[in-house]
Structure formats: structure tokens, C-alpha cells
Chains A and B, each alone.
Chain A
Amino acid sequence: MCKHSDCANYIPIDVAKGICHANGDITVQIDTPTCPKFTPGFKCKFCSHYQAGEQNMGTCTGFEDKFWAFADNGAKNCEKFERGAAEKVEA
């Protein structure tokens, strides 16, 4: 299940909350239900090069050398980020 912090419109404040840019820059708590404007953001778990494993970690195959990765890592500035198939994202 995706969280507010998984959304492209979300600007993080801290580990509990952030700002929703899609709804007028209001403060939202991460662990509350998302809204219809949810758009998958930039995290390893949304990347086609990410292969999920256990404990929220997996493998990144995007670079020359494979390396472990974790699902919630921010990937907005990763040069290899490619959005994965839409069906992977459960809003």
C-alpha cells in the first residue's frame, strides 16, 4: 500500500509528515490514506531496475555493477531511474 510519502506531489518535512503540493500545500501525515491525486513519486521501488527482496530491500540492476538497494530510497536524482510498470504501484 502506498503512502503519502510515495507520491510525486509530496514534499517531505520529517519522518511523520510532509506537504501535499497537489492540494494547496497542506500538511499531511504519512501514515494516513492517500487521495485520488496520488501520483507515484521517485523511489527505488517505482523503478524498473529495482528487484524487490526481503525486509523492504532488493537489488538495483540499473548500473554497470549490481548492488543492493532499498525500496524507499529517494531516486529523484538517480540518472538510471526509469518508472516501472504501472501495475507495480498500488495506490
Chain B
Amino acid sequence: MAQLHPMKLTEVLAERGLSLESQANGEAPKEIQDREIKKEPTPRANYLRNIYFDTLSSLDVQESYWYTRAATEHDGEVPIMRRAYGLKSVFQHLDTPIWPHELLVGAKAGFYRGSAPLPWLTESFFMDKDSDLYKAALATGAESSAEVSHFGAGGGNVTKSFGNVVSVGGKYGVRREIVPAMHRLAYAWAGKSVEDVGRKYEQMVPEYKIKENIMKSVVSNFDSGFTIPQGREVMNYYYVLEYGFDGLIDFCEKRAGEVAGEAGGDGISGMDRLYYYKSMAELCRGLSAWFDNYGREADRLLTCTEDETSRAELSEISERMHRIAHEKPKTFKDALQAIYLLHLAELNEDAMSGLSPGRIGQVLYPYFEQDIEAGRLTEAEAEEWNELYRVKMTCIDAFACTGVVGGVLSGNTFNNVCIGGLDREGKSAANRLEMLILEAGIKCQTTQPTLSLLYDEATPEEFLLKCMECVKTGAGYPAIMNNRIGMEFIQNQYQHEGMTVRESRAWSVGGCLETSPGTWMPLHHGGKLYWIPGGSGQPTSVGVHFLNNPKILELTLNNGFDKRTGLQVFEPHNRTFDTFDDLVDQYKKYYEKSVEVLNKCMNIQHDVWRKFTPSMVNSLLKPNCLERGLGIAQKGYRYNATFNIECCGMCNQINSFAAIKKLVYDDHKYTLDQLKDALDHNFGYKTSKEVGSESLKDQEKRDDDDGRYDEIHADCLRAPKYGNDEPYVDDMLYDWEHWFCEDMPHKFESLYAEPLYVCQMSVSTHGPEGAVTAATADGRLEGTTFADASMSAYPGTDTHGQYALFESATGWDHSMSQNSQMNLKIHPSATKGVEGSRKLLDLTRAYMRKGGFHIQYNIVDSRVLKKAQAHPENYRTLLIRVAGFTQYWVEIGKPIQDEVIARTEYESI
């Protein structure tokens, strides 16, 4: 009988006994099952979280205005002083709203979930679309990734304009009445922004044309120098906790006098110390004023508030904010308030994602311990403050272009709090406050901060089981990172900068899973000395952003030509691949060329950034800037070897390698040309553009398909797949990892003349990067989403259970890489009860002991996700783990939603 409708991929696969909604280790129960553990936040946290649920992502241009005004007034100043005056003015003038029932105060911009354009960094993407600047940005490929990126239509995303609200970039809302001011501010920086000046100079790289083609064809998806130049690093709050702002201002002014006119034996950066200390003193004055203004706002609200409880709370806020505007924090509440505002301060100086608070349970422990002992604080209060902190952190938005915020971040900002690990002496660092942080994460489920457990064999069982309890709520956190592997990577990468074993124990995760160096600092509190950990490295995930591994294979097969855009991306190789090794050799040549060109261009962008708009807040807070009198631009940080090369789609790349080798070179069933022909014709399916969706399950056969590619497609799908403990394909992965981690990156150096390293995680890039990539030899169709992460299997292809997947994933040394990433979806029935928690812990432990770096879980019934997709209005609070981050289901684009649904669901452990 003739088909009445085009056959869907799902139907074709079903005929072949394959499924996009694969279950492994059994079958799901007939009835849909909810997650097992459900607890409620405190009424106060619940009230404030409910405001968030109904809040739109909103743009505020106060910061843009005050920075621009001050920078204009100080035009001609030494650049770092000009920047300091700009930021000081921002912090002095920003609105300081306090919302009802808040105890922990602060906001990034003047809204509950606000952010601000930073036109001195980049301005083209929020220009009106008719502007020359916007058109120029399009011509460079800077917006190519945005064209294939998607935001979720629900939640707080302002995807369309309405009333007096204008949608910007498909996510943010801005009041119509301030749009002219926003455009005026953008034009004020035209030709002067990091984006514009960096673009001018990167064009002087002889192979710049290749870089432009790489961006247009989305072999790489964004420029790191002006989109999110900082982040993926760990904050260090020590100096403010130890000295307070007045102490820091005094120190900087004194040091400025000491170093003025002194080269200090260094004819390059020694003289910079004067400007450094003067700029830091100005910055501290701005920050102090910002803290103080919250006290003033509390004072103002006191004059118009009658409720006695509210008045008492406002009085407490007022006293605290006026005091910590000058002095070092005295209590747990003081310290949490201070580090929260410092976190926002850093976020306000750059467009940023992945700025992690780090191991704050250990940073705040001295205050917690002494407050509890003195009866100043109860555990219930500490837990509530952690819940309030969760709500506050979830309100953080980043304003960057659509390709980054949508295509990479899925709207998430990646503020990662780490727990566990080791202390300075090598003992378990897990503590009672971290148990309360976990409890707050269970009760007050929010996207931020996400939690990461630094798993160590020394971590107590009780602590680990508490982590499993938290995982079982379905929030996706804590992710579990291998402490030993993290330390080994840190030691390898930073030993030439003085890294020791002891110091490596202070590491933490910046962003979703970027291993970042840390330092122990001596905090004096209440007459005791505590060694607290904090970040001490530069942004650890800048440089070459998300190379599209399958796309480079597509270009290798097509002589460097991209059929989607019609661009000759790389110089034609004109090779016939007589052997599989020839093919891989050329693949590596194109790969290396991509890294070479992008690294040069990114070095220029970041150099312009460090000259024009270097980090100020981080250059104040991170060791050893204050001691050295040097900021990030002069390598004042203790660790500077931090630039990386990120990749995406490795599983599809390796599976494609395996299919090509098997079908073409080993079995000789097809010629390479026959395979290429099948890929060119998308195995007889419509293109994702024709279907109007990049989701796997929406793909359908061409109306005129005669079935000529059915057999080759079936063979491609049946070729060996990663994740099943099959040496044929796994060995290819190990060979690749060795080249990728060891042989290739060390050929390149960052602008700081430091060696690069690699980073293996997908975030959300497997959506847009899949969207631009033709069909692949593993049977994946054109335009559809890649496998997530780096160690996850392609949905439905891991058919031999979790332990086989672990075998496949751990045959290489994970400490060669900044990270690796493994996501597992498990049905709630498999982890039920105490026994289920222990099984989950055993599973985790097995992966860690085999040398896996990272694993995270989605404990969810996939049918719930399908219902949520059909009726998003009923699932505003549903959380899901994507790839290194937890996000509200409704705020994720459909291709990624479909990919999460399609992931293999394990029915038992």
C-alpha cells in the first residue's frame, strides 16, 4: 500500500529494530513515574523563587550609560584608569532595588532578572538590523551560529516583541522608550569596541579568509574575544573577606606611592604597577559605594514600611550593608552577602558565563562554624540563606549574542559551586555547611548555582549518599567530578608556573566542567587561621571555541568545500584516500589548520580586550595581582596557562570513522564515492530545512525517494558504535584522544605565550553545530543534533549497559584533557529508596575508579519530558540536565529537548 504520509525516520528505524527512544537494561514501568524525592523550600525562598518563575529576561542600560559617560569624560587617560573610572561610576550609580522579604540583597541590573549591553565590548548584534555595523558583522560570519540557534519559547525568554516591550536577540526584553538610548550607546562605541578594533587587526593574519569561512560554515561557532571574554573560571573572595574595602583602598594607595616611578627591575610591566594600584583603589571605592547604596535603599524603605517583621529585616540589611561597605565581614550572613555582591560585580564588568563561586562551603565555613558555636546562627537559618542564594544566583542573566546565549548556553550562566575534594593537608574537605548546601539544593531546586562534587576516595560515605539523594530529585546536580583526575590535570598544566601537589588540591570547576587552578589563602577570623580555597587562574575556556568535529570530516570528504554555504573553507587537498589512514591524516591537517588560524585571531581579539577592557574585579580579587601590582593583562594571576581548544560532536566523528573504515576499507562493501553519494543525498531523507526541524524524530523520507540508499543507511547505522565496549571503535577514540590531547595542542601558544590544552564538553553546541552539518557516516541525518557531551553515546546506540559504556569511555587518560563529559539518563524506578541510592553511588564509584573524569545524571521518566514538550504551560518548574548544566525545560530550544528525550534511558542499574 502506498504511503499516505512521508515516512518518518522513527518509523524507518522501527522497521529495522532501532529506536530513537531507546531503553536499556529492561523496560520502563507501564505507569509514568515521577521523581522520588520532593521537598519544599522555606516560604520566603518559595515566594522569591515564584517571582523568578514569572519574570522576563530584561535589559537595563544604566550600566551602559554610566560607563560610557565616565569613559568619555576620562578620554585620554591611561586605559586602565579610564576603565576604572567607568566601572566606579557604574557601581556608584546603579539602581539598588530590594524586593519584599529579601534578606540577601543585590541585583546585576535594575531588574529581578536583568542584564545590560556592554557596547565597549561588542555592539553589532543589538544594533538595528539595517545598520551598517550589523551588516558588517554578518559579513564576517560573526552571526552565522545565531542563525541556527534556538531559545525555548517558554519561561522568561522574550522571544517576540509585545506592547511597549521590544525583543532583542530573541531572548531579552527592553522597554520601547529606552531603545533610542540603547542604540545611541551602541553607536558611541562603533569602531572603538573590542569587537571592531579586534576585527580590524585579526584581518592582518594572512589566512584570515579561512577564519571567516570557518565562522560562516560554523566549523567554529563564536569569537571568544568579544563575546564572553571572561568566565569559565573560579572566583576568589579572599581579599575582601580578609581586609574589607577600606583596608584594600589603604593598601592600594600606600603601594601606589611605593611603586610610583619605580621600574622594579622590570622594564616591561614594572611601571604599570602605579596605574594598577590607583585603578584598584578607584574600583574599590565604587564597590564600596555600591554596597553602601543597598544600605541606603533599606533606609529609604524603612521610611515607608509599617510591618514590624519587615522593618526588623530592613534594619538588619541596612546595618550590614553600611558596615561591610567598609569593614571585613564578621558573620556567616555578612560573608555570604559580600561574596554574592562580589560575584555580581565581576559579572557586571564583562559579558560572561561560567563564573563559578567555587568551593564556597569551605570559604564560608569559618564564619558558619564560629556563628553556630556562639549561637549567632542556627543550621535552619544557614540553610535558608543558602536557598535565598540559590534564587539570587538563578536570576543572573548574561547579555551576549544569540549564537552564544542560545546556541551554546541555552540561556544558562553556569555558576558552579563545588563541594567535597581535599583540604590543604590532603584530608576530605567535605563539611557540615556543604551538607546544608546540598539540602538547600534539594529543597529549593533552581538552575543556579549548579553543584559539583569533587569525588575523592577520602570523601565520607554519608556525604556521598547525600549527594545521591540530591541527584535523585532530578535536578541534575551535583555533577560528579573525579578529584584525582582534576588534580593530575592541574599539576601537568601548571607545573611550570609553580603548581604543587598541595596547591593542586585547591582546584575547582569554573563554568560547567572546566577544571580550574586554585590557591589556598590564609583567612584570619575570630582569632583562628583557616586556609580557604579560591580561584587563581585566568578564564580557562577562551581561545578556540567548539570546533565542529563532524563538520571537519565532512569538509575533508569534500575537498575542503562546504556545500551548505558554497564556500571553499579550506584549501583543496586534492587527495584520493587510498587508505583509511590517509583520510585521518588529512582530517588532522584540516583540524590543525582550524586551530592555527583561530588561535591567531583569538589571540588578537583577546589582546585588544586586555588592552582596552581588561578584567578589573578579577584583577583585584585573584592572587597574586595585589602582591605583584599587575592585573590580568600583565600575567598578574598566579596561573596563566589557561587558553583551550574546545570540540563538539566527537562521538559522531568517531562513529563515522568506524563506519567508513568498516564499510569502505575493511569490508569493501562500498567505495568511498558511494558512501559520499549517500551522504550527499542524506540517505534519501529530506533536509532538516525542508522538514523545518533539526530534531531527530521529525526527519522524514523524501517524497521521491526510491529506497536506493536504504541499505547503505542501514549498514551505517549498524556499523560499530562507541559505548559498547567494542575495541574496533573504542581504539579509534583512544588514538584520537592521544593526538587531540597530547600531540596537537602543544604546537600552539596563547597570547600569554602559554601552552594550550583541550576541553571536551558540548554545552548546547551539539544542536546548532549539528544543524549545519551534512549526514554523517554513522547514519546520522543532515542537520540533526549530535550526541551530547564527549563521553556520552549517541542516543540509542549504547545497547550493552552502563558498564560497557564505562569501558569504552575510560580506555584513555582523562587527565590529559581539561575535562571529559558523560551524561546518563536513568529511570526513577531504578534508583528508588536507600538501595537505589547505594546502587547509584556504586555506579558512580565504578566510573570514577576506572578513571572517568565526569558523570552526571538525569533521573527522569522520558514520558514526563514528552508531556512537558506538549504542554509546557504545566511544566514551568521542570528542571533537566543538558550537558554540564541544569536548565528549565521550557527555556531550552526544541532540538535539544528532542535530543534529551532521545537519550538512552536506563531502566535499571
Instruction: Give chain A's interface residues, CB within 8 Å of chain B.
Output: 9, 11-16, 19, 21-22, 25, 30-31, 55-57, 65, 67-79
Contact = CB atoms under 8 A, between A and B. Distances in A.
Interface residues of B, number: 47
A64 to B, nearest CB: 8
Given A19-B100, A67-B72, A77 B56 contact: no
Contacts of A22: 304
B69 A56 contact: no
Contacts of B301: 21
A72 B716 CA distance: 60
Given A14-B113, A15-B111, A73-B62, A67 B92 contact: no
A45 to B, nearest CB: 10
Given A14-B112, A57-B184, 4 more contacts: A15-B174, A25-B100, A57-B181, A70-B61
Contacts, number: 98
Interface of B: 51, 54-59, 61-62, 65, 69, 72-73, 92-100, 110-114, 156, 158, 163-165, 173-175, 177-178, 180-181, 184, 289, 293, 296-297, 301, 304-305
B180 A14 contact: no
B165 A57 contact: no
Contacts of A67: 69, 72-73
B111 A31 contact: no
A6 B94 CA distance: 16
B180 A55 contact: yes
A15 B100 contact: no
A25 B98 CA distance: 12
Contacts of A69: 65
Contact of A74 (B95, B99, B112, B296): B95
15 contacts: A12-B111, A13-B111, A14-B55, A16-B165, A16-B173, A30-B164, A31-B164, A55-B180, A56-B178, A56-B180, A70-B181, A77-B92, A77-B293, A77-B296, A79-B92
A16 B163 contact: yes
B94 A77 contact: yes
Contact of A19 (B94, B99, B178, B180): B99
A15 B165 contact: yes
- Most chain B beta carbons < 10 A, residue from A72, A73, A78: A73
Contact of A72 (B55, B112, B173, B175): B175
Interface class of chain A by DSSP: loop
A15 B59 contact: yes
A16 B293 contact: no
Contacts of A75: 93
Contacts of B56: 14-16
B181 A11 contact: no
A57 B99 CA distance: 29
Nearest to B188: A68
A82 to B, nearest CB: 15
Given A70-B65, A77-B92, A56 B111 contact: no
B96 A76 contact: yes
A76 B156 CA distance: 27
A73 B177 CA distance: 10
Contacts of A11: 97-100
B59 A9 contact: no
Nearest to B173: A15
Nearest to B177: A56
A13 B112 contact: yes
Nearest to A76: B95
Given A30-B164, A31-B163, A74-B62, A12 B180 contact: no
Nearest to B62: A74
- Most chain B beta carbons < 10 A, residue from A13, A68, A78: A13
A16 B177 CA distance: 12
- Most chain A beta carbons < 10 A, residue from B54, B100, B174, B175: B175
A22 B305 CA distance: 9
A4 B296 CA distance: 22
A56 B293 CA distance: 27
Given A15-B56, A15-B58, A77-B293, A72 B178 contact: yes
Given A12-B110, A72-B177, A65 B73 contact: yes
B321 to A, nearest CB: 13
Contacts of A21: 100, 301, 304-305
Contact of B93 (A9, A13, A77): A77
A13 B165 CA distance: 14
A68 B61 CA distance: 14
Contacts of B65: 69-70, 73
Contacts of A30: 164, 175
